[in-house]
Chain A
C-alpha cells in the first residue's frame, strides 16, 4: 500500500495539469499552442482516472482523446490560416458573466462536498475480482449490449449526414 500522501500529491499534480492546461488552452494566441495545452489538460484527466483505479478509462483517454481527437485537431489547425488569427485581437466581452458562473459553480461544489451524506456512495472495490477492463467489458457486452449496438447506428447516421453536408454535388 502506498501511503496516503503520495496519492494526495499525485492528485494535486494532475489537477494542476488539468487546470493549467485548460487555462492555457483558452489564453494562448496561437492555435497550435492551444491544442498542445489541451493535450496537457487531457493527460491530467487521464492521470486522475488512473488514481481512481479506472484503468480502462485511462487507456481510452490516452488512445482516443490524446491520440485520435488531438491529431484531428492539429490537422484542422494546419488547414486554416494561422497567421491571420495571430493578428486578431482576442476578445472576451462576456467575462463578467463568466466570472459569475464560475463563482456560482464553485459555491455549489463547496456546498455539495461539505455535506457528504447526500452524495451517493461509491461502488465498492472487489479485492481479487476481475480487473477493471474486464468488468467494463462484462457489463458492456451483456447488460448494455443493445445501447452498444445502436450506438453504431448513431455513428453511421452521423457519418452519412456529414458526407451529405460536405459532398460537392448531390
Chain B
C-alpha cells in the first residue's frame, strides 16, 4: 500500500450512494432471477422500482453533501445532482411503462430490469464525472445496457436491426470519443476536466492548436452521436422504431439527457478556454439538427419514427442553449431537458399502450377516433403534443422561451430566428396527430382496445401533470 494512501471517507460513499444502490439492486435482481418462477417475474420489476426510488433518495442525500469523491474522480455538485435525479426519474417512469408492455409481449424477465438499472447507474456516473476516464466508463455502461435493451425482443426483425445498428454505430462513435480523450491527454497530460482547462488557458503551457483542435472535434463527434445531433442522427429513427416502445422512451430520455449533461460540463469547463473555436461548429450543429429533425418528421407515417425525428429536433433546440454558452444557457438547457424527458416518456407511454401485442398499430392513421373512444387518454396525449409544439401555458413553451432568450442575450439573432421558424414547422406534424385523433372516424385500429394498465396510467398522468405544472410554476426547478 502506498504511503500516501488515504481510504475514502464516509461522506465520499454518501456521494456515490445512488450508484451503489442502483448497481446493488440490479445485481440482486440477477441473483433472484433464476429463483423466480416465470409468472412471478413482475416481483423483480417491483424490486427495480424500489431500487429507483431508493436511488432518488440516495441522489438527494448525495446532493445535500456536495463535494468531490474518490480523489476527485467525481464532482457531486448541484448540476450533477439535478441530472442524477432526472435520469433516475426517467428510469422509474420507464419501468412503470414497461410492466404491462412486457406482460403483453410475454417477455418479462429480470434481465430487462437489471439492464435498465445498470444503464441508469452509468448515466448517474456520467453526469457527476469530473474526469474523462470516469465519464467514458459511465458512458459505456449506459450505452452497452442500452444496446441490449434496444434488441430485447430478439424474435422481431426490426428489433434485431435496431440493436445491430445501434451497437455498430454506437461503438464507432465511442471510438471517436476515446480517440479524442487520448489526444487531449497527450496534449495536456491530464484527464481531469478542471486540469485540462487550466493547461489550455495557460499561454505558457498551451499545447499545439492542431492537437487540441483535433481532440475537441473527435470528442464532439462522439457526443453528437449520443445526443443524435445531425449529421450523426441516422441511427435514431431506425433504433426507436425497432426497439420496444418503453425502451425507445428510455433511449430518448435518460441517455440523451445524460449525454447533454456531459457535453455541457466538458465544453463549459474543460474546453472553456477554446470557446472561440468550437462555438461556430456548435452553431451549425444546432441549426442542422433542428432542420433535419423537423423536416424529416414532416414525412413520417410511423408514430415511433415521427417521435424519433422530433427527438432529434429537440436536441437541436438544446444545442442552441449550448451555443449561447452562458450561465443562462446552461439553465435553459437543464429546464428544457427536464421538460423533454417528461414529454417524451408520456408520448411513448401512449404508443406502448396503443400499439397492442407485437406493436401492430404504430401508424399515425391508427390513432383515428381515439379522441372519441378514449377521451381522457387522448386529452393527456394532446397536452403532451401541445407541449412538444411549445404552446403556452405548457412547459414546452417556457423551455423554448428560456432557450431563445438565452440565445438572444448571447447575440445569436440568426440562430434564434431560424430556430423559431423551425418550431413553427414542427407545429404541423404534432398538430396532425391531434387532428387525426379528434377529427377522423374511428377505424379498425380501435377495435378491442383494452383498458390502460394502472402503471402506464401513472406514468402518463405524471408526465402530463409535470408538463403542465412546470409550465405554470417553472420556479420549482429553476
Q: Which residues of A are at the interface with B, using a C-beta cutoff of 8 A? A: 118, 120, 138, 141-147, 150-151, 153-154, 156-158, 160-165, 170
Contacts and interface: CB of A to CB of B under 8 A. Distances in A.
A164 B187 contact: no
B154 interface: yes
A147 B133 contact: yes
Contact of B137 (A120, A138, A142, A151): A151
A153 B118 contact: yes
Contacts of A141: 5
Interface residues of B, number: 46
Given A142-B5, A160-B30, 17 more contacts: A138-B5, A142-B6, A143-B73, A144-B133, A146-B134, A147-B134, A150-B137, A153-B121, A154-B122, A156-B118, A157-B115, A160-B114, A160-B118, A163-B111, A165-B151, A170-B107, A170-B111
A154 B137 contact: yes
Contacts of B141: 150, 153-154, 157
Interface in B133-179: 133-134, 137-138, 140-141, 144-145, 147-148, 151-152, 154, 163
Contacts of A156: 27, 118
A125 to B, nearest CB: 17
B70 A146 contact: yes
Q: Does more than half of chain A's interface fall in helix, strand or loop, or is it mixed?
A: helix
7 contacts: A138-B2, A145-B71, A147-B73, A153-B118, A160-B148, A161-B148, A170-B111
Contact of A145 (B8, B109, B140, B207): B8
B208 A150 contact: no
Contacts of B133: 144, 147
A161 B152 CA distance: 9
B375 interface: no
Contacts of A163: 111
B71 to A, nearest CB: 5
A135 B131 CA distance: 20
B358 interface: no
B365 to A, nearest CB: 32
Contacts of B109: 164, 170
B125 interface: yes
Nearest to B131: A147
B71 A142 contact: yes
A141 B5 CA distance: 9
A142 B4 CA distance: 9
A158 B2 CA distance: 32
A167 to B, nearest CB: 8
